[in-house]
Structure 1
Amino acid sequence: MERIYLDHAATSPMHPKVIEKMLKVMKETFGNPSSIHSFGREARHYLDLARAALAGSIGAKENEIIFTSGGTEADNMALFGVAESYQHKGRHIITTQVEHHAVLHACQKLEKQGFEVSYLPVDETGRISIADLKSALRDDTILVSVMYGNNEVGTLQPIAEIGQVLEGHQAIFHTDAVQAYGVEKMDVNESHIDLLSVSAHKINGPKGIGFLYLRSNIKIAPRVFGGEQERKRRAGTENVASIAGFHEAVVIAAADRERKRAKFQGFKRLLIERLQDQGIEFAINGSLEHSLPHVLNLSFPGTNVESMLMNLDLAGIAVSSGSACTAGSIEPSHVLVAMFGKGSERLANSIRFSFGFTTTEEEIIKAAEEIVKIIMRLKK
């Protein structure tokens, strides 16, 4: 049976060139980057090249990039690091109701430590209101954390406008860009972003590696202690092979971004048109206007998400009901709850489709055909 993978927002397959690069480094470069001899210098060279490329991809300086184990650590480092370092200026934090759990759970932990957190609501497209942000902003606000693009419904937040609002305010601006990095053009200076989180496995790089951008004038308390790696901001011997693979993935993503964006948007239109042609009733969760090109979340009235996922899997089609980090959870999506309310039937019938470099038109057409068959069968 042919298998079709339409869950790239959960994780993406590694690009063959990334694997090739990592194998080369693992075979030839085993030195510790902190060692001053030739073996260490060879390893350090890969780190320096990667750091420069990652910084350049967001308009940052090389010394503003901190390698992490992924997006979750980067988010945690940003929130806990800022809270500890700036609590003398205030203990108020602003975030949104639709953040990834790496941010939401960190905020809940901070609340237990005496910080006050304001959770901004979103409209039915999943976007926050700038007016709500201005209303929530206080003199003692030290951190605003708003994700760049939502991992479940794809909604893009008004990042540049948020940055403008915070200009001149003491609040530090963090954005979780894990789902948006590689498909959206980013410039931390144009958008006035102070911290930005990224994970490699969302852009066809390896799992277990990411980075936190930290503006040079911002201080954060470290979360990991030991050696003096990453300018004393994150201890531990660097994962050289994965960092080299991350570098390769970033280069590939940047060179191919506009073509991929157009291709993914075409996949969205194709899937929607095929379902419409067959008279399938559905609604788009989010917006096609302010949305990541590779994420499409659809609600299918009269169906059940568990049955849909099971039947699609039996048909060889891999999709999800939302965030991979809550897979198997019986709790409804907190993103859809924020968008539509706890009583909405969309909580029980919404499916996320997400595309990547391996996705083809033929796969979209085949997936649409199978979706039609399954819905017809389930509704009988």
Structure 2
Amino acid sequence: MDRLIYLDNNATTPLDPRVLEAMMPYLTTQFANASSVTHRAGRTAAAAVENAREQVASFIGASSKEITFTSGATEAINMVLKGVFERYRTKGRHFITCQTEHKAVLDTFAYLEKRGAEVTYLPVSREGALDLKGLEAAIRPDTVLVALMHANNETGVLHPVQDIAKITASHDVLFFCDATQAAGKVPINVGEIAIDLLCLSAHKLYGPKGVGALYVRRRRKRIQTGVLLHGGSQENKLRAGTLNVPGIVGFGEAAALAGQEVATDSLRLATLRDKLEKGLMALPATFVNGMGTARLPNVSNIAFKHLKADQVMVSVPDIALASGSACVSGTRDPSHVLKAMGLSDADAHASIRFSLGRFNTPADIRACVAQVTASVSKLRAASPIWQLHESGLVN
């Protein structure tokens, strides 16, 4: 078998060898519980956790006191949305989000709606862009929180988080931002943008799985979130349980590396992504979803009309691709993100996400373009509907 060309980095990234090196002592000889500070081994583990906290905080322009480690972004999302719903009932029960949010947000809001929350789901344009006037108009006196992601996981479309933060701050409404996909690909500085709460996952930026972080702003106002896990005073008394020291150390190293390399990584990935799109857009009846708006530098979501994405992906077994978010992989429903952008079911099912990463090379892109082009051409040649398209009988 040929070497796998991994282009599913939005699902998860490979562990950077430098991150693994930083983790190894805490997987082997430095195995102590970070809460066992009565002895030297425990204090060593605790110091490693606090160093990682500083690294993650520095990565997003925060204070270390504003960082709580979690098992990942999904846990942080649940902690924030459920906690704010419970803690801010006296102000109101109205929340605002977007139709293209990650399922971790949408499913949590569906849960809260059954318990009395009112949620406004903002639409997007054909390119996946948010209407800021529509956002401001949706804010009510009883609105407590706006939950909008920084970058979409399927299309890479970026929301204007600085403008969103200005709107929410002017209305004294909390702004919670899922920055899971944006972290390490575009700069994030919560010291310059009035984001109140933000979540990250290490495995999206070449760190280990099973660890993430929640940022809760302390400098502007006191923000109350829920306690999801009881049973101890770890992590600002917000999350009980023995700390995942190796994972946290890895997260810290991954964040430090991402902070150092984000500019060069982004430029290189944008160049590769543009070459990928130029090559594949030479195919007829092919288009990029979200191309007309600001996007992450590493993502391209491409529709190959009159085909099924699964057909194409099966026919290129040496390339790792995705037809949507990893969290809904295996479902037969069309992508809720692409449907919200106005795509037909057929075009949504024909769309493939290419998400590039730190270890991809120009040779990977050339091979991908060649193999996908050959696959699409062969599949279309055998397709009756494509023959109708060629005859001008269908669009």
TM-score of Structure 1 vs Structure 2, range by shorter chain: over 0.9
SS at match of 1:94: strand
Are 2:238 and 1:236 aligned?
A: no
CA distance in 2, matches of 1:189, 1:24: 33
Q: Does 1:78 align with 2:80?
A: yes
Question: Which position in structure 2 is the counterpart of 1:312?
Answer: 316
The aligned residue for residue 271 of structure 1 is 276
TM-fit CA distance, 1:191: 1.7
What are the within-5 Å matches in structure 2 for residues 112-127 of structure 1? 112-127=114-129
Could you tell me how far apart the structure 1 residues matched to 2:102 and 2:358 are? Answer: 24
Q: 2:45 touches 2:245 (CA, 8 Å); kept in 1?
A: yes
Identity, % of aligned positions: 41
User: What corresponds to 1:226 in structure 2?
Assistant: 231
Provide the residue aligned with 2:299 in structure 1. 295
Which of 217, 242, 250 in structure 2 is aligned with 1:245? 250
User: After the TM superposition, which parts of structure 1 deviate over 4 Å for at least 4 consecutive aligned residues?
Assistant: none
Q: Is the 8 A contact 1:177 1:197 kept in 2?
A: yes
Provide the secondary structure at the position in 1 that maps to 2:285. coil
Q: Partner residue of 1:193?
A: 195
Corresponding residue for residue 282 of structure 1? 286
Hey, what's the Cα distance between the residues in 2 that align with 1:287 and 1:81?
36
Q: Report the more deviating stretch, 202-211 or 34-43.
A: 34-43
Amino acid at match of 2:228: R
Query: What is the CA distance between 1:276 and its match in structure 2?
Result: 4.0
Aligned-partner Cα distance in 2 for 1:345–1:134: 33
Residue of structure 2 in register with 1:105 after alignment: 107
Matches of 1:99 and 1:85, distance apart in 2 = 23
Task: Give CA-to-partner distance per residue, 1:75-134, whole Å, 9 cap, x none.
Answer: 111111111111111000000000101100000001000010000000011121101101
Specify the alignment match of 1:93 in structure 2: 95
One-letter amino acid matched to 1:373: A
Q: Which amino acid aligns with 1:185?
A: P
Q: What's the secondary structure of 1:330's corresponding residue?
A: coil
Shift of 1:358: 1.2
The Cα RMSD (Å) is 1.2
Q: Does 1:257 find its partner at 2:258?
A: no
**CA offset digits 1:295-333 (Å, max 9, x no partner):** 1100111211121121122xx011000100111101110
The C-alpha deviation readout for 1:169-208, integer Å capped at 9, x for no partner, is 2321001100001111111132210000100001010000
Give the length in aligned residue pairs: 376
Q: TM-score, normalised by structure 1?
A: 0.97
Task: For 1:303, give the aligned amino acid.
Answer: L
> How far did 1:56 drift?
1.2
Q: 1:179 aligns with which of 172, 178, 181?
A: 181
Aligned partner of residue 67 in structure 1, secondary structure: strand
- 2: CA distance between counterparts of 1:273 and 1:166? 38
In structure 2, distance between residues paired with 1:130 and 1:52 = 34
On the 8 A contact 1:280/1:372 being kept in 2, the answer is no
Structure 1 counterpart of 2:18? 17
Question: Can you give the 5+ residue segments of structure 2 that lack an aligned partner in the other structure?
Answer: 382-395
Q: Which ranges of structure 1 fall in alignment gaps of 5 or more residues?
A: none
Distance 1:328 1:303 in 2: 18
Hey, what does 1:327 align to over in structure 2?
A: 329
The offset of 1:287, in angstroms, is 2.5
Tell me how far 1:344 sits from its aligned partner: 4.7
User: Is the Cα–Cα contact under 8 Å of residues 9 and 151 in structure 1 kept in the other structure?
Assistant: yes
1:113-165 alpha-carbon deviations (Å, 9 max, x no partner) = 00100000000111211011011100100010000000000000011001001
Name the structure 2 match of 1:372: 373
> Separation in 2 of the partners of 1:35 and 1:310?
50
Q: Which moved more, 1:19-28 or 1:49-58?
A: 19-28
What is the letter of the counterpart of residue 213 of structure 1?
A: Y
Report SS of the residue matched to 2:146: strand
The alpha carbon displacement at 1:2 in A equals: 2.5
